[in-house]
Amino acid sequence: MHDAQDAETNDVLRRKASIGRRAFEAHGMSPEKALNRALARAAETHWNLALLARDVQQSRIDQASCEEALGEGGMIVLLDGPEGLPGFARIDGALVAGLTEVQTFGTISAMEPEDRPFTATDAAMTAPLLDQGLENFARLMAAHPLHRQIAEFRFGARVETARIAGTLMDSAFYTLFRLQVDLGGGCRSGQMMLAFPERDTAPAEDDAEADPAMPRHSQLMMTLPVHLDVVLCRLTLSLRDVEALQEGSRLALPRDALTRTKLCAAGGLSIAEGTLGQMNGQRALRLGGDALQGREAKSRMESLAATAMAGSGQAGAPSEPMAPLDFQQMVDAAEPSPSGQDSAPPGITPPLVDLPDIPELDDLPELPPLDLDNLPPMELPDLPGMAPQE
């Protein structure tokens, strides 16, 4: 009985000693060791994946050097940080491929990853490692002076280029970590870089009106350039018509091409519709309404249709058939109204009335015959430059 109580007491003391030892190690842990342990625990927790971070290097660089380091290759990820100051991560393509494979197939293949452009899906595959790893890193560095610089960062969004990342940098200096990462016992190896903006030592006052659910980097992301295309319409042509296209060829466009112009983003995604016109001598697109009204719109549409139909033979595009005429409607419109009134609605020709018969003209005197031979001669001036005929 006493032996069991002694064993239980020893277990409790052993656990307390272990907790105290881990707390002491965390208090005196270097940032390099803490980052290695943070990422390794994140990979183990999510995918039971062995991750080793080695050759960790810490440095302090300015904004220009940080932008240059982000441009060394790999995928760039914006880290959503506190106070609207974003951080950045750069991950080699081999690591991105390894994280994608382990989440898709459950293991890392021995095949070399293909070299291709990164996508938003690739960035999303790195989010679990970055979110959990950064959270572990901040917790392990809770007693370190560097804790304020690395706390409260998480995955934000993929950034296309280092130049765009440079436009999002608001801090003059950054704390940079470079490390070599091995996945799955060395099946995938590559470099990872983490850049944290330097903040004031004193914590900023909490804003009671701030919405914690709102993304901190939303205002910065709104400054990124976006490429948009204005599309008049989409035509379907045969291969013969496409091969016949040349400079000066004309295509038959729909009548509503100008009033239903689409604004498309990358990949052809239609995001808005409007009317194409001009403003101050330049082409302009009015979204969500008709810029042309009444006769002006009708005139523009008829002019566009006439131009397209005139050149449709050059491109081989068929002309639109004319609508059939309703002759019965025309006859009904020509008959007089039952009321006998001559007035008609605006734009409608009033009905014709019967005219009296023309009388016979037999009693009119006959005209005398014309004597064309005795007409007096007419003297006309000579035209300049004409030689007289003999």
Write down the domain spans for the chain. 18-201+216-221, 229-315
- pLDDT recorded at residue 206: 47
Please report the sign of the dihedral spanned by the C-alpha atoms of residue 42, residue 44, residue 46, residue 52.
positive
Please report the sign of the dihedral spanned by the C-alpha atoms of residue 304, residue 309, residue 315, residue 316.
positive
Which residue in this structure is represented by tokens 């960062």?
153
DSSP 85: -
CA 56/CA 324 separation, integer angstroms: 80
> Can 18-201+216-221 and 229-315 be said to share one CATH topology?
no
- pLDDT recorded at residue 308: 44
What value does the mean pLDDT take over residues 238-267? 86
Query: What pLDDT band is residue 2 in, cutting at 50, 70 and 90?
Result: low
CA 185/CA 40 separation, integer angstroms: 12
Which residues, in sequence order, are CB contacts of 97 under 8 Å at separation 6+?
A: 113, 188
The mean pLDDT of the chain is 76
CA 197/CA 340 separation, integer angstroms: 90
115: three-class secondary structure by DSSP: coil
Cβ pair 118, 94 in contact under 8 A? no
Q: What is the pTM of this model?
A: 0.49
CATH topology of domain 229-315: Surface presentation of antigens (SPOA) (2.30.330)
Q: Where are the beta strands (DSSP E) in 81-172?
A: 87-91, 154-159
- pLDDT recorded at residue 61: 94
- pLDDT recorded at residue 34: 93
182 φ, ψ (degrees, to nearest 5): -115, 130
Report the CATH architecture of 18-201+216-221. Answer: 3-Layer(aba) Sandwich (3.40)
Tokens matching residue 80: 């959503």
